[in-house]
Every structure is written in structure tokens, then in C-alpha cells.
Amino acid sequence: AGVTPPITTMTSTIQLLQSHPFLLGLALRLSLLFLLPLLLDDNPLLRGVRYTDIDYDVFTDAAFHVADGRSPYERHTYRYTPFLASLLAWPLDSGHGHGDDAGTSLNNHEEEEDVPLLAWRLIGTLLSAKYFGKILFCVADAICGYIIVVLRKQRRRRVSEDGEEDDERQYKQHNNKVSGWRRLLDISPGLKDSLWWLYNPLPINICTR
């Protein structure tokens, strides 16, 4: 009854961040992935400031080389695994993603390919080389963050089974003794797990560029 609305709102937000870390972390990455290049790469916000990293251009150029049946290493400064270029070339295969030719190519292969495969290729074409690789990077990055969360939870569970005082138990004991804003500032172990990677600005910035 004595809790103020701002604290109630903050508590609900923290509970949401703890309950769905993977989905929220992935949604945050995908939102920034589309929003920041739109504001910076296309120059409506800051002229001369580009969000997309130059290495992503190298990745996509190498992917076009692979889609055309050439070596990715024909792209100057590409020094990465050929698997990466082949992975990014998947929606570009057989002309998909090359502008107006994509629709023609899809129509030519419509009778030859299974419907699910055709649907996935169409999705890859709609995403285009500009975003397809970044989406893969964001999904992979969010999965890494989720693995960290799972491993840290398992570690706390093992500590608890060994009879030691784990972080979760200490947090609950301390959190029950405080109230109001002090309780909000006392970050739970579950949220700390997510802050290591899923809500960390550094990996978010790297995978969305």
C-alpha cells in the first residue's frame, strides 16, 4: 500500500527483464539493428557518421562473390573463414537479393523447389544483404548471452546443492529486509546474469553494426 507508482513501474520492468532475458535481448538487438542504420547510414540524423561497420561491407561483398561462384578472397581485405561468406551468401544464391532479378529468379525456380525452401529464400530476399548478416549476428549473440545465463544458473544450483550460501539465497534474505528504492537498487542474481551479456551495450553495439 505504501509503494509509490514509480517504484511499482520500475519493479515491473525489472521483473520483465529477469523473466524473459533472451527474448528481450534479441528484440533489443533487432530494434537497434533496423533503427540505427536508418538514422545514421542514410544520413537523416548525422551526416558523415555511419553506424554500419566497414567490415560488414567486406562480409557482404565476399558473400556476393560466393553467390556468383567466385572465391570470397577475391574481395580485397577479406581475411575471414569462407564459411562466413557462404552463410551470408545463402539468400543471394542463384541471383536472390540482386534487386529486380530476385523476383524473376524466384518465379523461374518456383516449380523446381519445395514450398518451404522457396518461402525461406523469399524471406532471405526480402531481408536483403543489407540486413541478413546482421540478423544472423544478433541471433547468434543473443544465444551466447542465453548460454551465459544458463551456465551461471547451473553454477548457483550446484553451489546450493553443496550446502554453501549461494547468491540467490543471499539476495532474497537481504531483499526482504529493505524496501522502496533500496530494494530496486539491490540487483538480483538473475538480472546480473543477463547484464553480463544480453543487456550489455558493448556486445549489442558490435553485433548490430
Distance, CA of 110 to CA of 172 (rounded, Å): 58
pLDDT confidence of residue 27:
93
Q: Which helix (H) or strand (E) holds 84?
A: helix 82-88
pLDDT confidence tier of residue 204, bands split at 50, 70 and 90: very high
With a cut of 90, say whether residue 154 has pLDDT above it: no
The H-or-E segment that residue 101 falls in is helix 101-108
Nearest to 32 by CA among 128, 130, 138, 183: 138
Which tens digit of pLDDT belongs to each residue from 89-137? 887 764 444 443 443 344 444 444 555 666 666 565 556 778 889 999 9
Place of cell 558493448: 202
Query: Among the ranges 17-26, 112-121, 164-173, which has the highest mean pLDDT value?
Result: 17-26
* CA torsion, ordered 20, 23, 26, 28, to nearest 10 deg: -60
- Position 104, amino acid: T
- Cα separation, 84 vs 56, in Å, equals 11
Residue 204 to residues 5, 49, 56, 198: CA-CA distances in angstroms? 31, 19, 15, 8
- Residue 8 is predicted with a pLDDT of 63
pLDDT of 179 strictly over 70: no
Do the beta carbons of residue 54 and residue 77 sit within 8 Å? no
Question: Is the pTM for the entire model greater than 0.85?
Answer: no
In 3D, which of 18, 19, 10, 15 has the Cα closest to residue 180? 10
Q: What's the pLDDT score for residue 167?
A: 53
Predicted confidence at residue 193, as pLDDT, reads 85
